[in-house]
Amino acid sequence: MITNVTNVFVSNAKAAVLAAAPTVLSSNTASTQAGQFILMNCDEDVTTDKLYEVKDTNAGDINKIKIGIVTSKNYAVHKKDGTVSYYPIVKWSNEIQSNSIKDYNVLSYVADTEDSVVIDLDPTKVAADIKTLFAEGGKRIILRVTYKDLPTRYRKWTESYEYVTVSGDTMATIATNLAAAINTEWKRARVKAVVSNSTTITITALPYDDDNSSESISWAAKVRFNVNMYYTDPQAAAFASRNKYYIQGATITKTPGKQYAASAKLVRDRESINQGYEGIMNRTWFPVIKPAILTDINAKYSGLTMEFENHYHTADDLMRNTKETVELYD
């Protein structure tokens, strides 16, 4: 098979892996064990009492397992004496053979960070003739932000913020006014600016606000941007009035933001995509009937991804392998 088969299990239970079958219920209510992971020994010679005993001490003796998660749904068993028992439904992965595991990766929670750019207009470093020029007034200083994430969001590619100097301006007043120009664009704000040490402007990306729910149809993304800055002198003669000049001595330093691979929004997206393997193909025509997303958008998840292969019988009577993945988030 060309398409990789994926199972995604999301748990908010904060509980240990079950070592026995989920507790049978007397009423059709959600199990208190819902969200807990469970492992099943799938070897042919395993006895019923050892079915769910998959531990560090015996894992080396087991050839095949399944990974499951207890759901909040139950199935009813009607007995001859008229009583009804309710068994929690376990969502299982496909069978995993020990000799078919190709790779695995463990993720421990780390907080996301946003793109940031620091513009240093230190007056001891900026060229003296440029400071004198700015102090004369009438010089256009343009700070341009170029966004790199817009293939995923249909908005403007760039924003330019302009400040025209007035007589007596210093690098400190210029920094303050440029930051103010950025922060007053609140209707389409994608970054914010803070001035420190009088002449240092720190521009930081704002998180997206259109993907803040578990059922959001907008995929998780981050604002990615670069910054450049220049000035023009409209009072200069001829074509020099249109030239763009770099502010000699100013520095621009970018620190790229990081997105944790198991951040809650990415876990939500993985869970949503995986519903396609469960038969959820309609996401546009009303009504959209599908299971609720279990991901807690405010949770801090750890993760485990395991890649393995399984044999299957082809139509031309051959045995081939299909690549599969199981993803666990807790």
Rounded CA separation 28/88 (Å):
9
pLDDT band, very low/low/confident/very high, at 49 (cuts 50, 70, 90): confident
Are 264 and 295 in contact by the 8 Å Cβ rule? The answer is yes
One-letter amino acid of 322: T
Burial class (CB in 10 A: 0-12, 13-18, 19+), 183: middle
* CB under 8 A, 24+ apart: contacts of 158-166: 159/185, 159/188, 159/190, 161/185, 164/138, 164/139, 164/140, 165/134, 165/135, 165/136, 165/137, 165/138, 165/139, 165/141, 166/137
Residue 188 has pLDDT above 80, yes or no: no
The CATH code of domain 116-255 reads 2.60.40
Burial class (CB in 10 A: 0-12, 13-18, 19+), 161: buried
Alpha helices (H) along the chain: 128-136, 171-183, 264-274
Q: How many CA atoms lie within 13 A of 283 on its CB side?
A: 14
Average pLDDT over residues 20-34: 94
Rounded CA separation 170/193 (Å):
19
pLDDT at res. 117: 98
Q: Which helix (H) or strand (E) holds 326?
A: strand 319-329
Average pLDDT over residues 281-297: 88
Residue 19 has pLDDT above 60, yes or no: yes
**Where in 79-147 does DSSP place strands (E)?**
84-92, 96-97, 101-107, 116-120, 140-147
One-letter amino acid of 318: L
Q: Which residues contact 302 (CB under 8 A, 6 or more apart)?
A: 106, 107, 108, 109, 262, 329, 330
* CB under 8 A, 24+ apart: contacts of 56-62: 62/98
Q: Between 276 and 86, where is the model more confident? A: 86
The whole-chain average pLDDT of the chain stands at 91
pLDDT digits (tens, 9 = 90+) for 206-262: 998 888 888 888 889 899 999 999 999 998 888 888 899 999 999 999 999 999 999
pLDDT digits (tens, 9 = 90+) for 66-100: 999 999 999 999 999 989 999 999 999 999 999 99
Residue 29 has pLDDT above 80, yes or no: yes
One-letter amino acid of 189: A
Are 14 and 1 in contact by the 8 Å Cβ rule? The answer is no
Report residue 288 as tokens: 């959209």
pLDDT band, very low/low/confident/very high, at 156 (cuts 50, 70, 90): low
Are 133 and 233 in contact by the 8 Å Cβ rule? The answer is yes
pLDDT at res. 15: 85
Rounded CA separation 42/113 (Å):
42
Q: Where in the chain is the domain with CATH 2.60.40?
A: 116-255
Tell me the pTM.
Answer: 0.86
Average pLDDT over residues 296-317: 90
pLDDT at res. 195: 97
